[in-house]
Structure 1
Amino acid sequence: MSDLIEGTFGPATRTGPPPVRGRWAQLSVLGGAMLVDGTEAGLVTGLFPVIRNALGLTLGSLGVLTAAGKLIGVLAAPLWVWAARRWSRKSVLVLSTGLWGVWGVAAGFSRNFTELLVFLTVLAAGYAAAQPLVSEIIGDLFDPASRGRAVGALYGALALAGSVLGPLIGQLAGVHDGWRWGLWGVGVLNILFGVVLLLCFRDPGRGAAERQLADLDRAARESRTKVDLATVVSLFKIPSFAILLVSRLLSGHLLLSSFAVVYLVDVFGFTTQRAAVVLMPLGIGYLLGTLLGGFLADWATRRSPRHGLPGALQGAQVAFAVLAFLGTQVHYRGIGAYALLFCLMGVAQGVNPSLNRPMVMAVTPPELRATAFTIYVSVFEALAWAAFGLGAGFLGQAVGLRPVFLAVLVVLMLVNGAFLTLLHLPYAKDVQRVQRELDLRRRAALA
Structure 2
Amino acid sequence: MPELSQRTGMPVSEVKVKGRWRQLSLLGGTMLVDSTEASLVSSLFPLIRQSLGVSLGALGVLTAAGKVAGAFTGPLWVWAAQRWSRKSVLVVATGLWGVWGVAAGFSQNFGQLLVLYTVLAAGYAAAHPIITELIGDLFGGSSRGRAVGVVYGAVSLVSAGIGPLKGQLAGVDDGWRWGLWGIGAFNILLGIGLWVWFRDPGRGAAEEQLADLDRATRDAHSKLTRDKVLSLLGIRSLVVLLISRLMSGHLLVGTFGVVFLVDVYGFSTQKASIVLLPFGVGYFLGTLLGGVAADWAHRRSPRHGLVAVLQAAQFVFALVAYFGTQFDYGSIALFGVFFALMGATQGVNPSVNRPMVMAITPPELRGAAFAVYVSVFEAIAWAGFSLGAGFLGDAVGLRTVFLWVLVLLMLANGVFLTLLYRPYADDVARVQRELHARREAALLVRG
Q: How does 1:197-346 map to 2 (within 5 A)?
A: 197-346=194-343
1:366 and 1:125 map into 2 onto residues whose CA distance is 25
Given that 1:46 and 1:276 are in contact with CA atoms closer than 8 Å, whether structure 2 keeps it comes out as yes
Letter in structure 2 aligned against 1:9: T
1:358 equivalent in alignment to 2:352: no
What secondary structure, in the 3-state scheme, does the structure 1 residue paired with 2:221 have? coil
2:131 to 117, 130, 134: 134
**TM-score, structure 1 normalization:** 0.98
1:37 and 1:187 map into 2 onto residues whose CA distance is 9
Shift of 1:15: 5.7
1:369 and 1:18 map into 2 onto residues whose CA distance is 18
1:217 and 1:118 map into 2 onto residues whose CA distance is 45
1:72 and 1:128 map into 2 onto residues whose CA distance is 8
Q: How does 1:179-190 map to 2 (within 5 A)?
A: 179-190=176-187
Q: How does 1:41-440 map to 2 (within 5 A)?
A: 41-440=38-437
Name the count of aligned residue pairs: 443
Deviates more, 1:78-87 or 1:264-273: 78-87
1:435 and 1:106 map into 2 onto residues whose CA distance is 47
Which blocks of at least 5 consecutive residues in structure 1 are unaligned? none
Per-residue CA deviations over 1:424-443 (Å, capped at 9, x if unaligned) read 11111110010000000000
Two-structure CA RMSD over aligned residues (Å)? 1.2
1:443 to 440, 444, 447: 440
Q: 1:58 to 1:384 in 2, by over 3 A?
A: same
Letter in structure 1 aligned against 2:30: A
Given that 2:8 and 2:302 are in contact with CA atoms closer than 8 Å, whether structure 1 keeps it comes out as no
1:36 and 1:57 map into 2 onto residues whose CA distance is 27
1:71 and 1:36 map into 2 onto residues whose CA distance is 20
1:393 and 1:404 map into 2 onto residues whose CA distance is 9
**TM-score, structure 2 normalization:** 0.98
Given that 1:313 and 1:355 are in contact with CA atoms closer than 8 Å, whether structure 2 keeps it comes out as yes
Letter in structure 2 aligned against 1:190: N
Shift of 1:18: 3.8
Letter in structure 2 aligned against 1:73: G
Given that 2:286 and 2:346 are in contact with CA atoms closer than 8 Å, whether structure 1 keeps it comes out as yes
1:144 and 1:199 map into 2 onto residues whose CA distance is 29
2:376 and 2:102 map into 1 onto residues whose CA distance is 26
Given that 1:42 and 1:166 are in contact with CA atoms closer than 8 Å, whether structure 2 keeps it comes out as no
1:394 and 1:36 map into 2 onto residues whose CA distance is 29
Shift of 1:226: 1.6
Letter in structure 2 aligned against 1:40: E
2:301 and 2:259 map into 1 onto residues whose CA distance is 42
1:37 equivalent in alignment to 2:34: yes
2:12 and 2:300 map into 1 onto residues whose CA distance is 21
Given that 1:105 and 1:187 are in contact with CA atoms closer than 8 Å, whether structure 2 keeps it comes out as yes
Per-residue CA deviations over 1:75-116 (Å, capped at 9, x if unaligned) read 111111111111111001000011111100000000000000
Letter in structure 2 aligned against 1:388: F
1:304 and 1:226 map into 2 onto residues whose CA distance is 33
Given that 2:82 and 2:224 are in contact with CA atoms closer than 8 Å, whether structure 1 keeps it comes out as no
1:193 and 1:436 map into 2 onto residues whose CA distance is 39
Shift of 1:16: 3.1
Deviates more, 1:293-302 or 1:104-113: 293-302
Per-residue CA deviations over 1:260-286 (Å, capped at 9, x if unaligned) read 000000000000000000000000000
Per-residue CA deviations over 1:371-390 (Å, capped at 9, x if unaligned) read 00000000000000000000
1:362 and 1:303 map into 2 onto residues whose CA distance is 16
Which blocks of at least 5 consecutive residues in structure 2 are unaligned? none
Letter in structure 2 aligned against 1:110: S
Q: 1:301 to 1:18 in 2, by over 3 A?
A: closer
1:397 and 1:333 map into 2 onto residues whose CA distance is 23
Shift of 1:9: 2.7
What secondary structure, in the 3-state scheme, does the structure 2 residue paired with 1:209 have? coil
Shift of 1:303: 2.5
Q: 1:34 to 1:392 in 2, by over 3 A?
A: same
